[in-house]
C-alpha cells in the first residue's frame, strides 16, 4: 500500500495536552473506522500549528475522505517514493 506524508495546518495543535490529545486521536480513528481498511494512520509529528502525518492508503482520495470526516484539513499530500535512512549507506 502506498505511503503518504500529509501536512495539516491546525491552529494550537502543538499546545494540546492530555485529554485533548486523546480526543484528537480518537477523532481521527473514528473517521478511519468509517472509511475502512484501505487507509491506515501510522503516526504524526507535531510542530507549531502543524502536523505531518504518515499514512498508508490505497489512493489520495481516501486521504481527502478522512480529512472531511475527521475535520482535520489537508494542506499538502506527499507520496513517499522511498525511505532513505542510515542503513541505506551500508553496502
What is 3-89's CATH topology? Alpha-Beta Plaits (3.30.70)
Place of cell 489520495: 60
pLDDT per residue as tens digits for the range 22-61: 999 999 999 999 999 999 999 999 999 999 999 999 999 9
- In the chain, where are the structural domains located? 3-89
Instruction: Give the separation between CA 1 and CA 74, rounded to whole angstroms.
Output: 20
Residue 65 has pLDDT above 90, yes or no: yes
Full-model pTM:
0.90
Task: List the 50-57 sheet strands across, edge first.
Answer: 39-47, 50-57, 3-9, 76-79
Amino acid at each position: 500500500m502506498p505511503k503518504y506524508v500529509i501536512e495539516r495546518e491546525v491552529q494550537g495543535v502543538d499546545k494540546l495536552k492530555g485529554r485533548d490529545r486523546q480526543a484528537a486521536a480518537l477523532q481521527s480513528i473514528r473517521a478511519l473506522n468509517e472509511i475502512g481498511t484501505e487507509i491506515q494512520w501510522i503516526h504524526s509529528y507535531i510542530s507549531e500549528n502543524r502536523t505531518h502525518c504518515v499514512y498508508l492508503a490505497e489512493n489520495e482520495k481516501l486521504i481527502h475522505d478522512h480529512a472531511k470526516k475527521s475535520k482535520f484539513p489537508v494542506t499538502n499530500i506527499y507520496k513517499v517514493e522511498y525511505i532513505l535512512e542510515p542503513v541505506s549507506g551500508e553496502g
